[in-house]
Amino acid sequence: MLSPGLSDEQAVPFDDRGLAYGDGLFETVLLRDGGPVLWRYHTSRLAKGCRRLNIPLPSQAALDATWQGDPTAELEVLKLILTRGSGGRGYAQPDQVTPRLVSRRTPFQPSAERWQQGVTVRLCDLRLGHQPRLAGIKHLNRLENVLARQEWSDATIAEGVLADTHGLVVEATSMNVFWQQAGQVLTPLLDQCGVAGTLRAALIEQGAVAQSSLPLQQLGAVERLWVANSVQGVWPVTSLLAANGSLIQRWPLSKLDSFQRLAHQLLGVA
Amino acid sequence: MLSPGLSDEQAVPFDDRGLAYGDGLFETVLLRDGGPVLWRYHTSRLAKGCRRLNIPLPSQAALDATWQGDPTAELEVLKLILTRGSGGRGYAQPDQVTPRLVSRRTPFQPSAERWQQGVTVRLCDLRLGHQPRLAGIKHLNRLENVLARQEWSDATIAEGVLADTHGLVVEATSMNVFWQQAGQVLTPLLDQCGVAGTLRAALIEQGAVAQSSLPLQQLGAVERLWVANSVQGVWPVTSLLAANGSLIQRWPLSKLDSFQRLAHQLLGVA
């Protein structure tokens, strides 16, 4: 087998609309012993994205083929990109749309240290714009996340928290945000912007998390704070910094983090 | 020479950040007899985009190489895509950024009929979100334009006019909008969203056009209306339709369209 990085099938042509316009979707999936974790949630989000963008959803067999095959490690990350396929110059889609599905598997090791010791996160200066037509889905237009991630290079800062133009907390650059208030775990509504993560979806479906709104300036006052996604798992936040680096709040590590435990059960963490 | 569509140099690898995140910029340039029209404005906008996104700007020689070579037609369109290059999984850019520049030339013929007879345009339902960090530059995150262009398939409708979430006119899906009020030609400020076209920039620099604001509901009341870009030229709007297809306004064709004449001089139209 060719190394994935050298396979011609992985490249996309110049006229691919995913390249030209970010006209497509992606998923990043944890593979445990070669099997996809929360796969139903990933395919469900992909299907929702396809409906929103009006891209034909590939068959389940085609989607399953992206992870089938012998694993190269106990844990891998599968990244799949689905684009509207090739198209002419101009935004109008071709009469005949043939979506292009490309994917890659990479060995992966999550940070158990971050699970156990917690992380420092900072607030980002960038504000996410509102676009309800694109909110929640994992589309390929991610320049806001790229720009937000450029705001810091200090490796001791694990993530950056993003608010929208109304000053409401939305997400972290590549994770969802969860907080505890009055004993309840909450996560932002993502109807105007942000990516609705699959771990978040599973936790909401289980009734463990409810959707709510939180102004950015109240983030330091929550009882507990986490950032999480389906690949990295749950990182308890122990320090919150302002964009200028000043400390906003510290939280002690909890001996019994039932939120993390439940989420990690969903991810198959032993 | 290989056909551009079959050249390996035109493809981008799976890990290209232009594909993964729309992390890059593009330009669409009219070539007349093999020479780029308004090239200074295209390279200037590209440089501005590079500064905004923090992507190293290729050398002038590398940019010029995209159009040098024997023309295959009197008029061609050069499309060039500049991405941040290959990068690992995740939004953080690699320590060493090596931008990727790919391009393609295609024979082109503008519509003299649309110049002379004018066009019908419609209002789009989609509202452009605000993101000042990305406003004006021609980046690869163009899903809003793609979704707006999906709103109609009637070939007699030449363009769709987009407003922002505040209800202000911004642009057409792939052209800028110009209108006349009290004898002056105006075009929207593009500080919150939209793409600042090179023809628009040249017209502003010449003092022929000023930037202003226009609520969408006042668009039907302007003295004259045009949509224009550096490739297609200037199309006078003769009919404006609502998103539901109902007629909002008709304008007669002008015998002496000095705005179009000036713009076409800038584009080298005989």
Check residue A94 and report its DSSP letter: P
pLDDT above 90 covers what percent of chain A? 93
Cα-to-chain-centroid distance, residue A249: 25
Q: Does one domain contain both B200 and B103?
A: no
Confidence of residue A5 (pLDDT cuts 50, 70, 90): very low
Question: What does the pLDDT read at residue A88?
Answer: 73
H helices within A225-267, ranges in order?
A: 258-266
Q: Which of A109, A131, A156 is the last residue of a domain?
A: A109
Confidence of residue B270 (pLDDT cuts 50, 70, 90): confident
Q: How many CB atoms lie within 10 A of CB B167?
A: 12
Q: Does one domain contain both A166 and A142?
A: yes
Q: Count how many domains chain A has.
A: 2
Maximum C-alpha span of chain A: 58
B29, part of any domain: yes
Q: In whole angstroms, what is the distance from residue A121 CA to residue A242 CA?
A: 9
Closest CA to A187 of A142, A217, A219: A219
- Which two three-digit tokens encode residue B264? 């076409």
Confidence of residue A204 (pLDDT cuts 50, 70, 90): very high
Q: Does one domain contain both A160 and A206?
A: yes
Structure confidence by residue, pLDDT tens digits, A128-171: 999 999 999 999 999 999 999 999 999 999 999 999 999 999 99
Q: Which of A87, A109, A131 is the last residue of a domain?
A: A109
Do A143 and B92 make contact, defined as CB atoms within 8 angstroms? no
Question: What does the pLDDT read at residue B5?
Answer: 41
B270, part of any domain: no
pLDDT above 70 covers what percent of chain B? 97
Q: B43: distance to nearest CA of chain A, Å?
A: 18
H helices within B88-184, ranges in order?
A: 112-117, 143-149
Q: B100: distance to nearest CA of chain A, Å?
A: 12
- In this prediction, residues B124-153 reach a mean pLDDT of 98
Structure confidence by residue, pLDDT tens digits, A69-91: 999 999 999 999 999 999 977 99
Structure confidence by residue, pLDDT tens digits, B214-256: 999 999 999 999 999 999 999 999 999 999 999 999 999 988 8
Residues of A in contact with B16 (CB under 8 A): 19
Which one of A9, A19, A29 would you mutate to disrupt binding with B, by most B Cβ within 10 Å of its Cβ?
A19
Q: B256: distance to nearest CA of chain A, Å?
A: 30
| Least confident among A12-16, B9-13, B72-76 | B9-13
A–B: how many Cβ contacts below 8 A? 159
B233, part of any domain: yes
Structure confidence by residue, pLDDT tens digits, A107-131: 999 999 999 999 999 999 999 999 9
User: What CATH number is given to the structural domain containing A229?
Assistant: 3.20.10.10
B130 → closest Cβ in A92, A129, A147? A129
Q: B255: distance to nearest CA of chain A, Å?
A: 30
Residues of A in contact with B19 (CB under 8 A): 12, 16, 18-19, 81, 83, 140
Q: Does one domain contain both A72 and A118?
A: no
User: What CATH number is given to the structural domain containing A59?
Assistant: 3.30.470.10
- Which two three-digit tokens encode residue A208? 């463990």
Q: Does one domain contain both A105 and A124?
A: no
Residues of B in contact with A165 (CB under 8 A): 130
CA torsion B259-B260-B265-B266 (nearest 10°) is 80
Question: What does the pLDDT read at residue B7?
Answer: 52
A21 → closest Cβ in B17, B104, B142? B142
Structure confidence by residue, pLDDT tens digits, B45-91: 999 999 999 999 999 999 999 999 999 999 999 999 999 999 977 99
- Residue-number span of the structural domain to which A211 is assigned: 113-266
- In this prediction, residues B150-173 reach a mean pLDDT of 97
Q: Does one domain contain both B132 and B208?
A: yes
Question: What does the pLDDT read at residue B2?
Answer: 32
Q: Is the confidence at residue B44, as pLDDT, over 70?
A: yes
Do A20 and B53 make contact, defined as CB atoms within 8 angstroms? no
Residues of B in contact with A28 (CB under 8 A): 89
Q: Does one domain contain both A240 and A121?
A: yes
| CA-angle at B244, arms to B240 and B249, nearest 5° | 20
Do B22 and A22 make contact, defined as CB atoms within 8 angstroms? yes
B235, part of any domain: yes
A91 → closest Cβ in B14, B130, B145? B145
Q: B9: distance to nearest CA of chain A, Å?
A: 9
Q: How many CB atoms lie within 10 A of CB B204?
A: 14
Do B14 and A20 make contact, defined as CB atoms within 8 angstroms? no
Q: Is the confidence at residue A8, as pLDDT, over 80?
A: no
Q: In whole angstroms, what is the distance from residue B33 CA to residue A240 CA?
A: 59
Q: Which residue has the higher pLDDT, A5 or A57?
A: A57
Closest CA to B60 of B46, B70, B74, B72: B46
3 state DSSP class of B264? helix
Question: What does the pLDDT read at residue B4?
Answer: 39
Do A21 and B92 make contact, defined as CB atoms within 8 angstroms? no
